[in-house]
Structure 1
Amino acid sequence: MAPTTTKASTTKAKATNGAGVKKAVGPKSGKKNNARNAMAKMQAYFKEHRAEFKDLSFKDQQKELGKMWKVAPENPKTQTA
């Protein structure tokens, strides 16, 4: 049987001089934030227009709302820069 080795519990004090990985401070940016904003806009659009399809099942409502969303002026993908 091989001898087992244990690590001695040695804790080092962290440097207080600010060394290490810097995290971004402030609002998030980039593709992730754009996708988050687009999703929020889509959800708000669906909520606003869901009553138009109250006679359909949820699945069919989603299909119809998706078709409307693709051509909606609120959709960031349909807006031109």
Structure 2
Amino acid sequence: MTLTGLDPQTAADRIKSGELKLVDIREADEYGREHIGGAISLPLSGVDTAGLTFAGISGWCGTAHVLAVMPWNRKAGSVS
């Protein structure tokens, strides 16, 4: 998958035409404080595959970091 840039005006036009949907992945309280009109609230924390979604979009996977700090993945006596 290749991500391409999208300028604000083109995004607004495509959202208005129904070609695109804007999904706001912030938590409900953040969405409640402010959001772009017409945005759909879908907090990332509520998505079962949130980690995979984030990794695919960002190119960074936190799973390796989490596994590295788990006690069963450390040498005896290490603190990191």
Check whether TM > 0.5.
no
The structure, 1 or 2, with the larger RCO (C-alpha pairs under 8 Å, 6+ apart) is: 1
TM-score normalised by the shorter chain: which range applies? under 0.3
Normalised TM-score (structure 2): 0.26
Larger radius of gyration: 1
Identify, as 1 or 2, the structure richer in strand. 2
